[in-house]
Homo-oligomer: A and B are copies of this chain.
């Protein structure tokens, strides 16, 4: 990429040093497995630079003007093709809308689909930042417990029944059925069918966060809830943050044609000319050359190795002192300490010993839950750093205990 920049002379200094570029905060001496970020060396920097240039060659000013509200056609067409390969059912283009990532999509759907005072159901545990997005809206969040096979559909049914007896309007369930954040668990096949059936019968809309679908390490990812449901029952949020690059702020929504139309026709998308026009075209361009598929293969290999290295290190260092779930995809391993231990209380000691994590309580709405658990992200660090981080964790945990139960979700 030298030639393009050489004409403009040496790169000038921009910005004040005190202003950060990225979200990640490096802390010297700490291997911080709290960050659910991709490994920087796994981001296709050169390829995306070329994609940006090629987008402008191909579309000229159309790549920089106001975009089509539903997202640029080439992206939508390719999403349909890609889902044909990585999911059980492919959508038609009228059911797909470009998003600026799953955060934006969830925020926007909360705006469009909820009324003040509505109940939104979330899993316990669930992605803590999705909770923060929903809490910025005038809805009440109600947790539904999950176990290591994913959401408890029986508990969901009880919860919905109870809420309806209280004359509450249950607007939707936000769920991460595939390679869950934080647990790494995937909803068991039978439960997927039960959940979809419940949603259809009881008319509880599901918003399925499908951010990790592409990152499957033990064969194909399970079919999405969206692919199993009849039209209108499930809205799926798909993202390129994990399969490509979070900084592009791109993703997509699959829904039924009516909901897709409502999103496309929203003030936000109509007035802005789409939501992430140029970077969506970059994704489409990167995909058109086959680079997206090759990049996902590379990510799967790298993250499979990191997961395996982390799991092996846990076995070697923490056997008898903690338990954990085996994730078949995604970024995370969910670790449970013996009864009586508190992952939040241990954190300062862990950091003093040079490793960090997110305490399990982060992922629960209700105080006192998830105390014994913690989330380790294997995505950002190299294998040798993962081993070292677990070794450091091992130092602060006491000896083996007979009281160790299975991993608690």
Contact = CB atoms under 8 A, between A and B. Distances in A.
Interface of A: 1, 3-5, 8, 11-12, 14-16, 18-24, 37-38, 40-41, 43-46, 48-50, 52-54, 56-69, 72-78, 93, 100-101, 103-104, 107-108, 111-112, 115-117, 129-138, 241, 245-249, 266-268, 270-279, 281, 284-285, 287-289
The 7 closest A-B pairs by CB, nearest first: A19-B73, A15-B74, A132-B267, A129-B271, A133-B267, A116-B116, A52-B52
A12 B136 CA distance: 43
A53 B271 contact: no
Copies of this protein in the complex = 2
B65 A56 contact: no
A5 B289 contact: no
A125 to B, nearest CB: 16
A99 to B, nearest CB: 11
A77 B15 contact: yes
Contact of A20 (B56, B68, B245): B68
Contact of A132 (B18, B54, B247, B270): B270
A111 B137 contact: yes
Given A14-B74, A40-B61, A136-B268, 15 more contacts: A1-B57, A3-B4, A4-B54, A14-B285, A15-B75, A20-B73, A21-B72, A21-B281, A22-B66, A23-B68, A64-B246, A67-B247, A107-B268, A129-B270, A133-B267
A184 to B, nearest CB: 19
A93 B15 CA distance: 11
Given A136-B112, A267-B134, A267-B135, A65 B43 contact: yes
12 contacts: A4-B4, A14-B287, A18-B73, A21-B67, A23-B67, A43-B64, A45-B61, A48-B56, A49-B53, A63-B247, A66-B246, A134-B267
